[in-house]
Amino acid sequence: MNSASLIGLDEPTEWEKFSHVVSDANHEWESHVVVEGMHCAACAINVEKALKSVKGVTNAEVNATSKRARITWSSDITKPSAWMEALDVAGYPALPANEIFNLDARRKSQRLMLWRLLVAGFCMMQVMMYAYPSYIASVGDMTMDIKNLLRWASWLLTLPVMFFSASPFLSNALHDIKKRQMSMDLPVALGIVITFLVSTAATFEPNGWWGSEVYFDSLTMFVFFLLTGRWLELRMRNRTSGALDVLMRRLPSSVERIQSDGSIERVAVSRLKLGDVVRVLPGEAFPADGVILSGETRADEALLTGESKPVPKMLGQQVIAGSYNLMAPVHMSVDQLGAETRYAQIVNLMERASVEKPRLALLADRIAQPFLWFVLVAAFGSAIVLWSGDHGRALMVAVSVLIVTCPCALSLATPAAMITISGALARRGVLVRRMQALEALTKIDTVVFDKTGTLSQEGMSIGQIRVKEGFDMNQALNIAAAMASHSLHPVSQALVIAYQKLHGETHAAPLTQVKELSGAGLIAESEFGALKLGSARFCDLAQPSGEASSVHLVSESGWIASFDIEEAAKADAVSSLHDLQAAGYEVVLLSGDSQPAVTSFAKKVGIQNMHGNCTPQDKLTFLQKLQHAGHQVLMVGDGLNDGPTLAMANVSVAMGQGVPLAQAQSDFVVLNNQVSMILILILQAKRTMRIIKQNLIWAFAYNIVCVPLAIAGLLPAWLAGLGMALSSLLVVGNALRLSSLPNEIAREV
């Protein structure tokens, strides 16, 4: 980007498009950008150094595979133009993540790389044609004139390869030298330049100390192989991060807004305001979170919730930004815009995951740059050892070492797999919030479930209502619903819905100082004095007999009413829990409901180890006991009142579409609400770790075998280039096996 464009990003309205506030008190922001020019872990380290050198940038995380960076910075000290200019100077230009898809820079870059590949391929074939006679000719078959003519023709055909096809390697290496930094392109460029200079010298002066051999065929061949590998690798990388790319293109650029006089105008989505009414046509994406005001349709929410089937949307139902209208025009009200939409929260979580580095990736990053120095030393040492004999051969051995040992496969081994699995999980409705949790999942032996909203269906209902003598049932329900409207808990929502079904309107009981106590209940002040709404334990009532789960309303004078809660297990709960136990995992149920109600529900779903009447502290204590006994615990909750427990667990999963994503304490969020995803998640984590280990073993084995061969002069430069390209492609291709998840757990157990 040019200077004027960078300065334009300093306007808050502009940086808000690709940034969000982390801390209001410190004026701290977090921005996501797409960085060009990165090819390996060493490049990512250079980008991080450039960003952290800017005053005001407090943190920077970079992933070379997804080409994304997350920058945390203070708006009091710096602006986006400052740290983006630092990236430009370092040779890694960046674009705001939300704009990369509105520009054709990426497409032009891919097209240019393809042209470089085609030119290298054409010249390689011609050079090989000219080199072939010298390989098969016997002594005296060719005159020196013919031999020199073929060499000159090869030299001329190599020039386009050097100055066009190989220019990315050469320019990046030159920039590394100027900045005194190291990346994968430096040893590659050195190999290319040395080969060209030696061959050129032998063409102009075949009797010099460098020898009479020319290597134009090897040079053009390994440039072609390198470009082929990089082009295919780029295609594979785009596929691995495809879920995020597709997701970020979901929002429309414009939408039809209904004016106060009934007329329709098409406006940019950025001009929408809360309360606007818009018409969404079939095939268009919903531009914001809102409610259907007129019309009926079906929506495609697959990438946002993992729901593969179209979801019916009728009058009064909510729609989410980024989902597609499939059937008919509908009018909707705009209730949430921009960063407040669920779509924006999902994109933010996926962006964070795309740059986060697990432990194995950090290990590869630490190895990458020292390994590049080892490559240079090994190549230089090989040349010195062989120099006393054939100078030309010594230089070509050094070239082979430079080419074959570039740590591409090593730096791609972990991030390629992580990006692929996170994209595959996202397509099935599972968001990865912390990449490190994938590794931790492989060690899990115990799975602890919350009940309400996790294993039970979200649609709870109110059954029998018992009230104090002299109290009206409607009055008691009105008070309870008024208090419950201040909570997102499924039981609270059931009370609100029960009142609305009876009266068709919202509650209007006069209450003050309503407050929710997490995991316990609600308190409020009213004409009856202090009120409590919650479990028998919270309301200081004797434990009720029977198996019904109830919520109670009490005042300072005593009990007022009890509301029986009717709930059913989710459709896949029984089979999913059976599969978990069959796979060898201990399953535990913890709930704040009464013990009889928890026991009854546990029998329905097949859980033997269950505990009721649990406060958040009780759950936390139970979890700590399991961990102290040596168990690795996965906690699965609804994310609404399980924050401390989710944070304490070795790995945590928040279930359900109602989870406040920005506040969730979990490592994973299961948007599709399917219990079956828990075992799939565990199994895929194990599969991911297996593939990462395979990639790392291959990367190390490849270098252990090929480096001695290159040093011994048994590996020509063209074969070294082919080996390096194939090694990287093998690693990325192996990671692509993670791009599909099983539809049936039975295939994986």
> Catalytic amino acids?
450
Pairwise CA distance, residues 441 & 632, whole Å:
9
On whether the CB atoms of residues 443 and 706 are closer than 8 A, the answer is no
Pairwise CA distance, residues 52 & 90, whole Å:
12
The answer for residues whose C-beta is within 8 angstroms of residue 322's C-beta and 6 or more apart is: 247, 250, 251, 285, 286, 303, 304, 341, 343, 346
Partnered with residue 448 across adjacent β-strands are 588, 635
Alpha-helical (H) ranges within 319-358 are 342-355
Reported residue count of the chain is 749
Cα radius of gyration (the chain):
32
Pairwise CA distance, residues 449 & 455, whole Å:
7
Pairwise CA distance, residues 718 & 608, whole Å:
64
Tokens linked to 231: 């082009």
Angle at which helix 105-136 crosses helix 216-240, to 10 degrees, equals 150
Alpha-helical (H) ranges within 79-143 are 80-90, 105-136
On whether the CB atoms of residues 587 and 449 are closer than 8 A, the answer is yes
Tokens linked to 547: 């198996």
The answer for residues whose C-beta is within 8 angstroms of residue 263's C-beta and 6 or more apart is: none
Evaluated on CA atoms 537, 538, 540, 542, the torsion sign reads negative
Nearest to 323 by CA among 298, 340, 347, 348: 298
Helix, strand, coil shares, percent, the chain, to 5: 50, 20, 30
Per-position DSSP letters for 249-261, written without gaps between them: T-S-SEEEEE-TT
Count CB atoms within 10 A of the CB of residue 92. 24
Partnered with residue 562 across adjacent β-strands are 466, 552
For residue 623, the surrounding DSSP H or E stretch is helix 616-628
Count CB atoms within 10 A of the CB of residue 165. 27
Pairwise CA distance, residues 16 & 659, whole Å:
24
- Residue 558's identity, in one-letter code, is G
